Structures are given as C-alpha cells and as structure tokens.
Amino acid sequence: MGSNGSKSSTAVLPDALPPNWPSPTDEDLKVCPNRRIVVNGPQGYFFASNFIRTSKYTRWNFLPKFLAQSFHPRKKMANVYFFIISCMQMIPLITNTYGIPTVLMPLSFVIVVDAIFAALEDLARHRADDHANSSTTLTYSDRTGSFEETTWSEMKVGDFVKVRNREVIPADVIILAVKEKTAIAEGRAYVETKSLDGETNLKMRRALKSTLNEIKADSDVTKIGHGEVVMEHPNKLIDRFKGTFELTGDDKEVVDPTNVLLRGCTLRNVDWAICLVVNTGLDTKIMMSNTESPVKTSSLELRINVEIKRVVFYLIIVCLFGAGGNFVWKNQEMLDAWYLKWSTTDADETSKLHETDFKDYNATGDFLLSAIVQFFYYFLLMANFVPVSLYVSMSTVKFFQANFIESDVNIYHEETDTPTKVRTMALNEELGQISHIFSDKTGTLTCNIMDFRKCTVNGLSYGKGITEIGKAAYNLQGDAIPEDVLAGEAMSREHAEMHKQPHVNFYDQSIRFDLVGARGDEQAQALEDFFTVLALCHSVIPEVDEETKEVHLSASSPDDEALVCGAKFFGFEFIDRKQGIATLRLSNGEKRSYQILEMIEFNSTRKRMSVVVKVDDRIELFSKGADTVMIPRLSEKINQEKLLDDTCKHMTAYAKEGLRTLMICKRTLDPQWFEDWHGRFHTASVDLNEIEKRLSGEPNNIDLLAEDLEMDFRLLGASAIEDKLQEGVPECIADLANAGIKIWVLTGDKVETAINIAVACRLLHPEEYMEQVVIAGGESVNTKKKLVEKLIDSIRQFDEDVKQAGSADLVKPRALIIDGPSLIVAMEPEVQPYLLRFTQCCKAVVGCRVSPDQKRQMVHMVKEKVLGVKTLAIGDGANDVAMIQAAHVGIGISGQEGMQAVNASDYAIAQFRFLRRLLLLHGRWNYRRMSKLVCYVFYKNIVMAITQFWYAFQTGFSGQKFYFEGGIQLFNIAYTCFPIMLLGIFDQDVEEKMLLKYPQLYNNGIRDAFFNSKVFFNWILAGTVESLVISIFPLYALNYSGEPNDRQDLLPSLWHYGATSFTLVVLVTNVKLLLNQYTFPWFCMLCWVLSVGSWFLSAYGMTNVLLVDFDGYKVYEDLMRNHSYWLCILVVTVGLGARDFFYKGYQRAFHPQLHHVLQEIDKFGLGDLNQLEIPLPPQPHMLMKEPLDDLPEEVEVNDDIELMQRVRRATRTVSDLFHLPKGLGHAYDHSDLQTVIEERNIVLGRHTSRGGVAKRVSRIFLGKAASPKAGGAKKSFGDGLDMLSEDDE
C-alpha cells in the first residue's frame, strides 16, 4: 500500500515505497532502495494519488477521534472526571439519582459545544483541501495527443504536465522543456518558492539537457521515447534531490534540485514548462515538510490543572469528614433512634410493622462498610466541586476574544491589506502576562526594505539628511542636531516624494553637477565608474512586463536591489542580461553592453562579490564588499592613503546613522594574465576534490585563486543604504519597557550598529541614564574564566548599588550588549548561570552577530531556568522560526521574507508597533477576564455543592440531598453560565485610552496578580463561608409551607429548605458576579435577568410536573406563597452581597490600585489625566530555578581546546592572510553550492553540459564520488558556528 493512496484497480502492483514506511529499516531499504518511474509507459509500482487531506477529521472518523481527544486524561481532565462520575451514578449502592447518570446531560452539552468549535476550525482546512484538489492544470492525453485540463487530484506519477507562467506547481516534477522569452533556448526557468521556504527572491531552475531541444510542441512528449527515472524516496528536504534520468539508447543524466519544481511554488519568466510528475500528494516535499508547530498551553491553563487537583483534594477531605460523621452518628445515635427500629416481616412489605431488637447486634463492622459506601455517596453528591462548564466557557470566550483581535482595525495594516491573525487562541490570556520579549531586528524592528541613502566617491560624500538612528546617536552623545542636517533631511523627504524611485531616498543636487564635470573630469569619471560597478556587480534578475515593457527586478538580497536602483536613479539602469551580456541604459538613452567573463559570489565568509567584465577590449574587475575585507586588498602601487582616510571617515559617519555600508573598488586586468588565471580557476571550479574541500570548509584552490584575483584594487568609494525603522517602533518599545517587560533584541549586526539602532528604538538610553555592559570582541572575554570574572564584577557592582539605594528600582538600569562569539562561551554550562543571573539585573539585552540557533538557546535559557517568566519571540524570517517556536508565545510578522515565520507563529501581525496594542490592550483584558471567569466558575460550584454538606449535619450525615436534580443539572448550563461568559468577552475594568496611555497597568499580568493560588483560595474560601450561611439560614427562617388557612401547623420539608437554599445559591452567585463587573451593557444585564429568571420559571415547572421530580412535587408552588421564603431570600442575598460591597469600598479607600485611581479620576473628573505622572512599576522579582550560591572570590573554570577553536572560527575567515570583523559564518550545503554555480553560469551566459560542473557536483551528493565527509550534510564553509552533522539533518 502506498503512503497515502488507495490501490483500487492498481492493487496488484507492488508498492513504490519500502516496507515499514515512513520509518524503514536498513533491511527494508535493501528490498526497495530507489523510487523507479517509467517514462512514456505503464508504471510498474503503485504510487500515492495527488489527493491531499490536511484536515484533522473526516465525516467517518470525526466522532471517535474527537471523543478520544475530549477524554484524554492529561488534556481534558475535567471531562474524564465527570465521565467517571456519571458511571458511578449508575452503581445502585451509592447512587443518589436512582441509577440515572444525570451528569451526562451537562457533560454532553459541553462535548457538543466543543465538537462544534472543532468542526468549525477543521472546516477551514477542508475548504483549503477542496480548493487545492479541485484546482486544474494541463496533463498530456494519449487519446487526443494534446494537453487537456485535469484537476490536481486526478494527476498521477509519470504524467506529463504543462505548467504556464505564474501558475502554481501541482506536484513535484522534473523539468523536461521550457518555452523561454529569449530566442536561444537555454532551458532556464525561474521559480518563486515563498510558499515553501518563505524566501521572496526568484530561484533559477533548468530543464534536462537530454530533453530540452527534443520537446518544442505538445505532441513531442511521446517522441522522446521510453525511459526511466531512478530517484530517492520521498523526503522533506526541500533543497535536496538525488536521481537520474535515462532515455532508451541515451546516457544517464543526473537530476539535481535545479532540475526540479516543487509543489506549491510558482513558475515565473517563461511561457510554459513541460514536466514529468515524480512525487504526488502527501509524498511531495511541501506536504512532508508540513510539520505542526509545538502544542502550547497557556500558563493559566496549567495553573488550572494544579488548582483542580487541589479542589479534588478538598472534595476528598469533605467526603471523608461526611463519611466519618456518618460512622460516628450510627455508632452513637442509630441504636437509640426509635424511628429506625421498625421493619416489615415480609419481602412484599404488606404485613404489619414490628420493632427490631438490636440488643445482641454488633453493628461496628457494618457501620464501617456503610461509611466507605457513604464516602462515595458524598463524592457523587458534591461532584460539582469541579465545574462541568469550565472548558466550554473558556473555549467560547477565547473564540470571541480571538475574533475581536482579528477584527481590530487599529492593528490592521491597510497598505498591505494584512489583518492580525490569531493562530492559537488558547494563548489569548498569555498575551497579558509577557515578561520577556525576544525580537529580531531586520524586518521586525526595521522594514527590511533598503533605500539607497548616501555614498562617498573619490573622497567626497554625497547625500543630505539624517536617519532616525543618526538622531539617536546625537542624543546618546548629548549633542544637538545641527540645523543644516535637519534641513537636509526635510529636503530629502520632499525630494523623495517628488521623484519617487523605489528603494532610493537621496537628496544632494551636487552629485548631478559632478556627473557632468562640475568638479573636473576625474570626479566625473570616478562617479561613472562607481555607478557602473553598482549596476553590474550583482545577481539581480530583470523581468520585463510584456504589456508595459517595464523592467522589474527580482533580487536574492534587498541590498543588491537597492544598489541597482540607486545606479538607475543616477542614470545607469540595468535592463537585461542574456547569454553573458549585461546591458545598461544610460541617462541619455544610450545602451551599453558588457560581456560578463566571470563572477565570484558574495557570502558571509568572503563578505564581498566580484565580476569580471569586458568592454571596449578592456578587462575590468568590479568588486564590492565590507571595508574590513576590501582594505587589505587595496593596491599599494598607487597612493590612496588620503582617499582611504576620507572614505573611512565617511563610512564611520554612515555607520553611526545605522546605514549599511559597502566599499566599492575596481581593477584593470592584463588580458594575458586573466586568461591564464581564468584557465586555472575554471579547472579548480570543476575539480571534485576542490569542490569537496570547499564544501567541508577546508582550504581549497577555488578560494585561493579568488584571493589572487581580488587584490590590487583601486578604491572608488562606498555606498550607504538604509533599512528604516518601522513606524512607531520607538514608542512601542518605550511603552513595553514602561509596562515592566524586559526586551532582548537579537540581531546579526555589528556592535556599533546594533547599539545605535537600540538607542533609536528607545531600548537603550544615554550612559547618564543607563549603564551599558559590553561583552563583545577582543581577547578580554574569549575564555570561560575571563567571561565569568566579567559577569561576576558586573553582578557585584549592581548588588552594591542596590544596597546603597535601598531598592533595585532606584539604581541606574543596566543593559547588556553581547556578541555571538562571546555567547558561544557564555552558553557553556559553567558560565551560563552567571550570564542568566546578570541578565536578571538588566532592563534590556542586545545580542549582536548571533545565529538562529543562538537565538533559540537564549529564549530556552530564560524560559526553562527562570521561575515565573512568560516569553514572547517575534520575527519575520525563516531564521526566526526556532526562536518563535521555543517561546511561550510566538509572533510572526508578515514582512518581506515570506510566510515561514508567520506559519510557525501563534499570532501574526503586519507591523511591530501592533505589538503594543496586542499586549497592553487585548492581552491585559483577556488575562483579567479569563482569570475572573475561572475563579468565578469554581466559586459558584463550590457554593452550590458544599451547601448540601452543611445540611448533612441536620440529617445524621446520611448524605440526603435536598436539591432538585433538574436544578443541579441546569445550574451550570442555564442559571449561571451566560453572564460569566459575557463578562469574559466584554468586561473592561479600564478603558482603552487609559491602557495605552498608562502601560504600567500591564504589570499586574507579569506578577500574576489576577490569578494565583492566593486569589483562587480566597474565592474558594468565600464560596465555603457563603454556602454555610445559605444552608443554615433557611432552616431557621422558614416558618411553614402552604396556605395560611389550610396547613398552618405543617413545618417545611427538606425539599422546601433545599429549594430555598438553591434559590439563594442562584441569586448570591449572580449578584457576586455583578459586584465583580465593571461595565454593564444592556445585553449583559438582560442576560443576567434571564439567567436568574430561568431558575424561577424552571423550578415552578419542574415541581408541578410529577414525572420530572416526584420528591419536589408542588414544593415551589408552596414556597411562592410563603412570605418567609421571600424575606429569607432578601436578607441573605443583601447580607452576603454587602460583604463584598463594603470590602471593595475599603480596598478603594485605603489600599487602592492604579486602575482604581484612574477609574475615579476619569469618572468624577478629579484631575487632568494628561498631566498625571505615574511611577514605573517595580520590576517583578523572578528567581532562577537553580539560584547561584555566593559569588566566588576566585573563578575556577577550565577552557577546553574545542571551545577555543569554535570561538576562533566564529571570529575569522578561512583565509589566514588577514582578519575579518568578529562575525558569524555561513553553512553551505549542496543546494547553496549548486545555486552559486548556476547563478554564476547564468551571469556568464554559459551552458552546463551533462559532464559539466552541475553534474559533477551532484555526483558528490549522490555518494558516488565523495568521501563520507561530504555526504550531503551541511558543512561549515567559514566559521563553523552553525555546523551540522548527519544527525542534525
């Protein structure tokens, strides 16, 4: 049987997958080592269909699967509890419901409501599946000899499919032929993989060489003859593909990832592509990659499970007390109770009663057994200690809370039409308790949309104005911003509005004049060379709109796109690249062509990119890169010292503004030297041993030859591009910090840039207001001992300041700035406790040069090793997924880096600033409402259940119930359910404007002030005391039952007492709710009246219909005419309500909280809220799970060689010729290398033959020509920081 298909007519075929799939053993793989697909012929194996199902349920498995989840003992403990209770109710010996499982009625109601929510949630998945399965594509029909429209679900492995431009790929396919927009067929196609890996840049793919020129029309697919594809079994590695394609009579051709289009991607830049289907349905990589995010449970729900256990323990104590009381009463009172001595002589109970003689009867044993039975009887009697409506109430409230969040127009991004999305509504209240925020920078705090802002050329700086980060740098130094700088910024913004050019925000008229020779021909030539390098040194793909003929750029890097757009702004427009010829259109309309001879790619290890071009018989090398790698490569043959000094000063000034800088250089090459070098470089590039060395991060001739080329540069200048802060980020961070939330920014930027950005975001403050502890770079902290000593000194200094000031809130706040290499040491087990201890002293932490895994480690460290924290991680890219999933709450930003972060998140927002409203408003409201709901639901059930226990003191602890059974079952469904749910949905203790104006109000959530053991105990204690009053008072207040002239001497029965007590339970619990409510909309009050009124109506109806409740027949009709009944209700309800009323008044008068003060100021106009100064809340005191002992005077830790090597690898390049700035490396795998090679070949206009580079490189990953080291696992090319082993993959 296939992985997910049905065999039907193909049942006789063997399965294409090995036995025990998807976890086959080595023996299983020997039986079926490869996947074999016949080309142009019937298949010899059974394959999965292309029908997909991502929904949880079907119409056939919904009921059993849902019930299994609903009665899971760990997830739905209350449901299991009540199911056991209903079973116990059917045991004759202990039942108090005549053997009828009455609890099943409310339990069934709860299950049905949960089932409706589950079905509604799954319905959206069904609709998405139906849409995908019913989508159409073109598949080849042997009958008609042409491509016909077919639904995706009908496609099969081995089919030929024709995908048109901008269509979504319906399955995993191999490209056989494409129709390109160029005259010469090169087999190139481009694919957008955003839905697969979250990346927005286009990726190049190629058709197979053996079929590219064979298929020109639809009917040609049969002319290629028969063949076979032998490939790997389905897997989820989206950047891997191993296989061969062989036509009869032809050689085998290696199939690698560049020949494959994956389901879910979008075809671009070609008219059509004819492909062969190889993986379908749930065997496709996108479906196998659809791993579910980890199941997260809110802290409040975890606390509820703890409190349920305590409530059950309380119930057991009450039952033991009741059983013990029954045993004592029977031993002491029963034998003397004359009314219990009478029995009948016959079983049919028709003969006369006679008195039983207990004289010689030893009843102790029977009484003990009776007490045990009585324990279970009490357990059933008070089973409602645990509320049956708890989960359904919570689910309903969370559903509406989620809808309010999604429909909030204030967190809707109109420009991109992106609303806030709730993906995990179970965490709604967790948003109101966040103590730590871990944020990415690029695309999260910034827009990740680069703008060309400034440049320096030949020692002259161009570009006016100042960035927000630059303003922050002035503030950090305490300097005023010059007027001319501010004026330049205003002009820059005005000019950008007038001359709108994507990715350019530049104003400086002098550069226009200099381009035409205002400062001489030398400066004009330098500017021309500078912008020519920007226009040619990149891997940007131009797309031409067929209708408008406009050129759209698709870049793998937003920096590249900004630089190319900057060159266009100054008259050097990149418009085309075909067959190795790049074409520029100059400002005068002239087109200039350049032959691209070679390209050496940019990566985070090399930190530079170079292209070799030929123009007018000259061979030029154009290069751009980080200053730290370009400066050592500048030529010493020409005097460039002053130019270099001026350029570096300008770049330093740009960096202070948070601008990203690249140094621009060129070199004129001797044709003979280049020809010799090029031959050696080409030989090294196709040498399997050299490729393997490069993959494994070892020294290799490819990189050494690149070093030989990239030297003796002539400096042209430097570019500066801006990644703008998102709108409202500084205000958002300031308010979150004022709320008491600690914010950690984790970025890959260097220390200086990260600090300036943090200051611009108001995360860091000038040194007179905040002490910054920097642990980054240098030799001072590159060992465990040195780092521990540094941390201990910082901790001691903070502790001394606290001791002198008297409080941690009065000392200068701390901020920690730490870089990636230092973090490698800091995360060692011996060092981590000291790092964690010091971060507890810090108000902010900035991590620089950190890898995705280090982000996850820092989140995990705080989450797992500090008590009481609630972590939130927010990011926008695939590199933030690990951090997002590790945190208590993960937030994805719908940005420029695809949807991978959003798909892994619990909540999705469009802008970072929306986090302010999401937490301070919705989060706080949701947390307070859910806390009140949970406490109240337990309280009302305690009041209702334990009232019967107090009555047992009047009945010899017999366990006699005195409630109507119908009333018990409807209590949680009709009488008290809806008002509390409306409170949980609509109640507002503080208005929206105050919550946003005074973020200090949020601090209650961080401290768990609304729901903790003390708060919960107070509610339970109040319920216990109030139930005692409700039980006892009617026993002495009710006088008689009946008509005044009819039965004056008839005392009320136990059912009259019970009905009165139950009326008080309904009234007191509902009044209690009103006293804990702040807003009273009309629909809430109407619901309250209907809920209370429903008891009076249903009680009258139940007691007047004999079949409903025989024991209470006509009881309520009697009570309605009883004046003492109404007086009893009035006195008890007012009396118990008054206690709460006066206590709340006392609390407001003598121990007010912040929200009390703001309520009264706003309500009674006692002051101007705009001038009210609220002190910052105290920092929550959160203890480490394993607190440090006294700080040691002398540090004793040992540094191992392996750690030192890891740190060194993280701070240098592969080459030992010069040093790079302290940074991180880049892990390369097969796909990375293949993409680099293919992009290089595209730029050069080369065709890769079957024996060329792509084929040879693929052989390494097919395992035929490589050592085990290369294997296919990721190998470090530089730093080794993200090095992965086979196990990691």
The catalytic residues are: 440
Q: Which of 395, 388, 387, 392 is nearest to 298 (CA)?
A: 395
Q: Which of 365, 362, 359 is nearest to 341 (CA)?
A: 359
Q: Which of 832, 794, 923 is nearest to 437 (CA)?
A: 923
Q: How far is the C-alpha of 1199 from the C-alpha of 1197, rounded, in Å? A: 7
Q: How far is the C-alpha of 157 from the C-alpha of 173, rounded, in Å? A: 9
What type of residue is 1156?
H
Q: Which of 615, 609, 600, 612 is nearest to 674 (CA)?
A: 612
Q: Return the structure tokens found at 16.
A: 């294409």
How is residue 15 annotated by DSSP? B
Q: Which of 189, 182, 192 is nearest to 204 (CA)?
A: 189
What type of residue is 354?
H
Cα angle vertex 1024, ends 1061, 948, to 5°?
Answer: 40
Which SS3 state, helix, strand or coil, does residue 268 take?
strand
* DSSP string of 334-353, one letter each residue: GGG-GGGSEEESSTTS-S-E
SS (H, E, C) 1211-1244: CCCCCCCCCCCCCCCCEECHHHHHHHHHHHHHHH
Which SS3 state, helix, strand or coil, does residue 691 take?
helix
Q: Do residues 174 and 259 lie in contact, with contact meaning Cβ atoms separated by under 8 Å?
A: yes
Rounded alpha-carbon distances, angstroms, from residue 1167 to 161, 988, 1157, 1163: 73, 21, 11, 10
Cis before 22 (ω within 30): yes
Q: Which of 900, 909, 906 is nearest to 887 (CA)?
A: 906
Give the count of alpha carbons within 13 A of 374, CB side only: 26
Q: Which of 939, 927, 910 is nearest to 1005 (CA)?
A: 927
Beta pairing class for 771-775 and 814-819: parallel
Q: How far is the C-alpha of 945 from the C-alpha of 372, rounded, in Å? A: 20
* Residue 644 CB neighbour total at 10 angstroms: 17
How is residue 809 annotated by DSSP? G
The C-alpha R_g of the chain, in whole angstroms, comes to: 38
* Residue 919 CB neighbour total at 10 angstroms: 27
Rounding to the nearest 10 degrees, give the CA dihedral for residues 342, 346, 348, 353: -30
How is residue 807 annotated by DSSP? S
Q: How far is the C-alpha of 974 from the C-alpha of 792, rounded, in Å? A: 61
Q: How far is the C-alpha of 1009 from the C-alpha of 1000, rounded, in Å? A: 13
Q: Where are the alpha helices (DSSP H) in 44-92?
A: 62-70, 77-88
Rounded alpha-carbon distances, angstroms, from residue 341 to 346, 356, 357, 956, 1271: 16, 5, 8, 16, 90
CA distance between the termini of the chain = 28
Is residue 576 packed enough to be buried (19+ CB in 10 Å), middle (13-18) or exposed (0-12)?
middle
Which SS3 state, helix, strand or coil, does residue 717 take?
strand
Q: How far is the C-alpha of 440 from the C-alpha of 847, rounded, in Å? A: 10
